Structure 1
Amino acid sequence: MIDVGVNLTNQRFDKDRKEVLLRAQQANINHLVITGTSVTESQKALALCQEYQASFPRFLSCTAGVHPHDADHVSGNYLDELEQLAQSKYVKAIGECGLDFNRNFSTPEQQQVVFQQQVQLAHKLSMPLFLHQRDAFEPWFAILKPYINRLPAMVSHCFTGTKDELEQCIAADMYVGITGWLCDERRGQSLRDIVNLIPLNRLLIETDAPYLTPRTIRPRPKSSRNEPCYLSYILAEIASITGKEIDEIEKCTTNNARRVFGLCPT
């Protein structure tokens, strides 16, 4: 299994990050992609890949980008900084980038400017996009539409949208990341109703740790912090809902992740 979205730079991992990685390996995780959400966090993500290369060889890679929440705070040369980060062999995609009109921690106008710039950067560098979208599908898709089939891959990270939005993403040949949101029958029911529409050759799995701990974990963990070692619960829930074999889903999602992020088999 490959976890394509882990916020490993989050301070909730500061006290036991190495143990988190060990538990992930023990849980049959082959690789983690650390999410970059700002220039600073992307720098930290790359530093973690480099720091743990000796003790966890070929186990970590990362993305480099600016989350829409941080769009109001970019520096004048942030694109140059992202491009410099992207030269590293550990950086596999531009992102997490996109639009979030649910919280609007940054203004919608600035979110769109910064998103557009990162899409253009990914095109310039011929790199995949790791994408965020919440309550902003139409402008988000409009920015991406000219680049469909002009980028190596687009990943709709932590998909929680509607059936119509999912169908548009699939028609655009996007990959769709499924998280522990699927394991929550309260707020995740709409996703549970449509997850079977995702072709296996477009499916990715991710924990988005430390967020979105699967509610299906038994016994319930004492900590609310999510970890990569819980990735199998998402896999199991997809299998339970779709009726597909766990082994088949695991094989396909692993191969998809290797293809999207250019990962060599370990």
Structure 2
Amino acid sequence: MELIDIGANLAHDSFDADRDAVLERAREAGVTQIVITGSSLDSSRAAIALAQQYPQRLYATAGLHPHHASEWNAEVAAQYRDLAAAPEVASLGECGLDYFRNFSTPEQQRAAFAAQLRLAADTGKPLFLHQRDAHADFVAMLREHRPQLGAVVVHCFTDTRDALNDYLPLDCHIGITGWICDERRGKHLIDAVPDIADARLMIETDAPYLLPRTAPKAVVGSNRRNEPCLLPWVARAVAAARGQDEAEVAAYTSANARRFFGLHAA
């Protein structure tokens, strides 16, 4: 069974000591390809460097997370335009809006998001999006720019069924994480996931975050860090929620990821 992790923060410093072992565990678990999330200039460059070390197995995104939106300026925009041309960059993002902590002001976030939406329209790159506690502004901006955009994925979707029903008519792909493995926090997600068409669903770990609650302690290890080898538990939970076979979910989510990001066959 082949799986593709469309969002893992493998440039995160928590992986510095054992990144090669993390990749080997992923391979042993059937995770054949991983898209590494870039959320700042530094992490985007680090993601590209990792993808260069493991061609056709690792890919990168390049974007400015809303937490860093205050850093956006003309010079940063030019650097992202250059990064977008790198062959290892499969998508722009992670970008969007996050009003949960407001590390950058909502005004700064909206300006950086709008600029990255325009960059995606100019380059034709797929777009890897983040939204937390900002749905009304986020969907309004996405709706405005959607006719000019190519493929779009709302990554790490944990929101309500109403939010999902705003994204699906906009032809958005949806990324599901280990949040669905927690029947306490994720009950609404378990109920909503069957609404997503097979062709619009992808899975991800968002490692090192969002550890699947159902993963056994013997597999997780003592550091309680999420990593790509735990993606099978996400696939299993998605299959259970949708009443499908796990192998079927693995097959179509991998096909969707390969098509969305333009990945080579593993």
With normalisation by structure 2, the TM-score equals 0.96
* SS of residue in 2 equivalent to 1:77: helix
Measure how far apart 1:10 and its partner are.
0.4
Structure 2 CA distance, aligned partners of 1:22 and 1:201? Answer: 29
1:265 aligns with 2:265: yes
What whole-Å deviation, never above 9, does each CA across 1:33-62 have from its counterpart, x for those lacking one? 000001111111111111x23xxx410000
What residue number does 1:45 align with?
Answer: 47
Counterparts of 1:171 and 1:35 in 2: how far apart (Å)? Answer: 26
Partner of 1:248: 248
Match of 2:94 in 1: 96
Q: Which moved more, 1:143-152 or 1:100-109?
A: 143-152
Offset, 1:75 = 4.4
Q: Take 2:166 and 2:46, find their aligned partners in 1: how far apart are those partners?
A: 34
Displacement after TM superposition at 1:244 (Å): 0.6
Alpha-carbon distance in 1 for matches of 2:69, 2:145 = 21
* Higher helix fraction (1 or 2): 2
The one-letter code matched in structure 2 to 1:182 is I
Aligned Cα root-mean-square deviation (Å): 1.1
Match of 1:168? Answer: 166
**Bigger shift: 239-248 or 10-19?**
239-248
**Residue number among 142, 145, 148 corresponding to 1:144 in the alignment:** 142
Question: Alpha-carbon deviation of 1:118?
Answer: 0.2
Amino acid at match of 1:225: R
Identity rate, percent = 47
Amino acid in the other structure paired with 2:30: N
Deviation at 1:148, TM superposition (A): 2.2
Assess if the C-alpha contact under 8 Å between 1:95 and 1:129 holds in 2. Answer: yes
**Does structure 2 conserve the Cα–Cα contact (< 8 Å) formed by 1:27 and 1:229?**
yes
Q: Is the 8 A contact 1:157 1:176 kept in 2?
A: yes
Counterpart amino acid of 2:46?
A: K
**Which residue of 173, 177, 202 corresponds with 1:204?**
202
Q: Provide the TM-score with structure 1 as the length reference.
A: 0.96
Count of paired positions? 262
Tell me how far apart the structure 1 counterparts of residues 56 and 242 of structure 2 sit (CA, whole Å): 32
Tell me if 1:121 matches 2:119: yes
Unaligned runs of 5+ in 2: none
**Residue correspondence of structure 1 range 30-109 to structure 2 within 5 A:** 30-50=32-52, 52-53=53-54, 57-109=55-107
Aligned to 2:234: 234
8 Å contact from structure 1 (residues 6, 206) kept in 2: yes
Closer, same or farther: CA 219–40 of 1 in aligned 2, 3 Å: closer
Partner of 1:10: 12
Q: Distance in 2 between matches of 1:233 and 1:98?
A: 27
How far off is 1:230 after superposition? 0.3
Query: Which residue of structure 2 aligns with residue 24 of structure 1?
Result: 26
Question: Segments of 4+ in structure 1 off by > 4 A?
Answer: none
**Could you list the runs of 5+ residues in structure 1 that have no partner in the other structure?**
none
